[in-house]
Amino acid sequence: MALAIFSGNSGILSFGHVAFMALGAQISATLTLPAMLKASLMPDLPLPTAGGDARAARWMPVDEVLGGERPLAFDHRRIIGDAVERARGLLEYSTLGAAFCADRFAISDLRRIYEIVWGQRLDPGNFSRKVTGVEGFLVPTGEHSRDGGRPAALYRRGPATTLHPPLLRAGH
């Protein structure tokens, strides 16, 4: 996961394909204070670019921003951490994870999205059983991958928008 950090007063924070809009006030060359954080989940984000009041933009790992290596003022680390946790939680109860896959995808592609966002390895068999057991989440295409190795069944997104039962993370 990564965050886009902007030098200036506004920017987009992102991990994987999850974006957070932020407004902030730059106090010094090394300290930008977010004043508002609005989380959005979006596939296929562009590379961050400077513009407007942002003089520079770059991707940074979430762990680097939340781990204390990047100076943040007041409770802003907690605010960003809460937004990241909310994005992670959305994948437990919604079908949003499949929106980040290609039109046709293998279960392993979907599992990788969850692993990136949740920051933890998932058991392939358990994950497959859970996602294929949720009515309307995935629809088999009848096709198989042909990219070497054992062919994997391909799926497309189904009509469901919520997961019942939810896919719960370990420890949550």
Query: Do 14 and 100 form a contact (C-beta atoms < 8 A)?
Result: no
For residue 167 the two structure tokens come to 């896919």
Q: What is the pLDDT of residue 137?
A: 97
Neighbours of 79 (CB within 10 A): 17
pTM over 0.85: no
Give the chain's mean pLDDT: 78
Report residue 45's pLDDT band, with 50, 70 and 90 as the boundaries. low
pLDDT in tens, 107-142: 999 999 999 888 899 999 999 999 999 999 999 999
- What are the chain's domains? 2-91 (no CATH), 96-157 (1.10.10.10)
Cα–Cα distance for residue pair 134/100, rounded to 1 Å? 18
pLDDT exceeds cutoff 80 at 156: yes
* All residues at 6 or more sequence positions from 30 whose CB lies less than 8 Å from its CB, including other chains: 71
For residue 123 the two structure tokens come to 């058991």
